[in-house]
């Protein structure tokens, strides 16, 4: 059975803080609403506590106060004789219990926030090396969530670990799942998340672009190095060949010049 937690917490705090002094007394009145999934079946209780002892209890199921002990029974008879008080207790089933239960269910039980999912490589590694991928699932509500890993569309059940569902402190939750694997070029690795806020499973692939771009840059660097080396070698060979062949132009006499 679900209970409207605000009143429960208030009552617990009152009992903890209101310890009766040695030469005095403490009187407390606590409201308690109890209900299941159907809020039409609502139980409303009003408790009067004197020095941590229950004296009277109003129960909406019987519609009157019940007393405990001599003083409690006298007070219960007095409360039951007050028409305005009994009328107030009857309408409080709706104004206190059902009203707040609807707010509670709307803000918590019926609240759904979809998760934000990110897949990343935990440590640098290249293809052919063993590495670990992390699937972070953030900011979802309610807390029930299911995370699975897929490799080329096939579910993985081994080398998978995950944290417990953790509360963020803002009525949202997070979970982190890990997959240990040997990286393979061209393989599609997917983190699949199922949550009540989603109409269908949310699939997020591991983005291999950083790893592929690293290899591409390395390949481009090697190609550029060999191209530069080839050009430099060709230039040096040409210079050596030109110097050896001595292709300097031969000086020719001008035929129009005067003969001495």
Task: Please answer whether residues 201 and 213 qualify as being in contact, where contact means their C-beta atoms are separated by less than 8 angstroms.
Answer: no
For the chain, domain boundaries: 2-109, 116-211
pTM of the model: 0.54
Residues 6+ apart with CB under 8 A from 174: 136, 137, 138, 139, 140, 165, 166, 168
Mean pLDDT in runs of 10 for the chain (260 residues)? 37 43 78 86 93 93 94 95 95 92 81 94 89 96 95 94 94 96 93 96 90 57 57 64 60 50
The domain over range 116-211 is classified in CATH as 2.40.50.140: no
In whole angstroms, how far apart are CA 238 and each of 128, 179, 228?
Answer: 43, 57, 15
Residues 6+ apart with CB under 8 A from 10: 30
pLDDT confidence of residue 57: 96
Rounded CA separation 209/215 (Å):
10
CATH number for region 2-109 = 3.10.320.10
pLDDT confidence of residue 9: 32
pLDDT confidence of residue 5: 38
């Amino acid at each position: 059975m679900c209970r409207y937690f605000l009143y429960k917490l208030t009552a617990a705090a009152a009992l903890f803080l209101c310890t009766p002094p040695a030469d005095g007394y403490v009187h407390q009145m606590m409201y308690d609403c109890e209900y299941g999934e159907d809020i039409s079946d609502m139980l409303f209780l009003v408790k009067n506590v004197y020095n941590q002892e229950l004296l009277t209890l109003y129960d909406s199921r019987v519609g009157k106060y019940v007393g405990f002990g001599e003083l409690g029974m006298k007070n219960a008879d007095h409360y039951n004789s007050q028409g305005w008080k009994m009328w107030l207790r009857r309408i409080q089933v709706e104004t206190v219990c059902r009203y707040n239960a609807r707010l509670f269910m709307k803000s918590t039980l019926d609240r759904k926030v979809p998760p934000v999912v990110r897949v990343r490589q935990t440590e640098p590694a290249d293809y052919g090396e063993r590495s670990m991928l992390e699937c972070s699932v953030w900011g979802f509500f309610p807390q029930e969530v299911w995370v699975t890993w897929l490799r080329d569309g096939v579910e993985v059940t081994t080398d998978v670990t995950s944290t417990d569902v953790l509360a963020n402190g803002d009525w949202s939750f997070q979970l982190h799942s890990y997959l240990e694997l040997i990286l393979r070029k061209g393989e599609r690795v997917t983190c699949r998340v199922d949550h009540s806020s989603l109409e269908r499973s949310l699939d997020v692939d591991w983005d291999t672009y950083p790893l592929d771009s690293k290899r591409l840059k390395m390949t481009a660097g090697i190609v550029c190095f060999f191209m530069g080396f080839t050009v430099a070698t060709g230039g040096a060979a040409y210079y050596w060949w030109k110097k050896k062949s001595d292709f300097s132009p031969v000086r020719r006499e001008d035929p129009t010049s005067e003969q001495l």
